[in-house]
Amino acid sequence: MSTPRRVAEAYSEFFSGVGVDASHLLTETFPLEPEAGAGSQQPVLVRGISFRSMCEHHLLPFLGTAHIAYVPSDRLVGLGRLPAIVDVIASRPQLQERLGEQIAQAIADGLDAMGVLVVLEASHGCVTMRGARQTASSTVTIAARGSLAEPAARAEILTLIGAIPLPSAEAGTR
Q: Give the residue from 5, 27, 105, 98 showing the smallest Cα distance to 57.
A: 98
- Contact between 145 and 104 under an 8 Å Cβ cutoff? The reply is yes
Q: Which residue among the candidates 105, 121, 126, 156 is catalytic per the annotation?
A: 126
Alpha-carbon torsion 63, 69, 72, 77, what sign?
A: positive
Q: Which residue among the candidates 94, 101, 102, 124 is catalytic per the annotation?
A: 124
Q: Is 126 a catalytic residue?
A: yes
Q: Which residue among the candidates 55, 94, 101, 102 is catalytic per the annotation?
A: 55
Q: Is 96 a catalytic residue?
A: yes
Q: Is 58 a catalytic residue?
A: yes
Q: Which residue among the candidates 9, 13, 56, 150 is catalytic per the annotation?
A: 56
Q: Which residue among the candidates 41, 94, 96, 102 is catalytic per the annotation?
A: 96
Q: Is 35 a catalytic residue?
A: no
Buried b or exposed e, range 118-142, using 16+ CB within 10 angstroms: bbbebbbbebbeeeeeeeeebeebb
Q: Which residue among the candidates 58, 105, 121, 156 is catalytic per the annotation?
A: 58
Residues sharing a CB contact under 8 Å with residue 147, sequence separation 6 or more, in sequence order: 71, 114, 115, 153
Amino acid at 60: L
Q: Is 57 a catalytic residue?
A: yes
Helix or strand holding residue 146 (H, E) = strand 139-146
Q: Which residue among the candidates 13, 28, 57, 97 is catalytic per the annotation?
A: 57
Residues sharing a CB contact under 8 Å with residue 28, sequence separation 6 or more, in sequence order: 77, 78, 81
Which residues have a catalytic role annotated?
55-58, 96, 124, 126
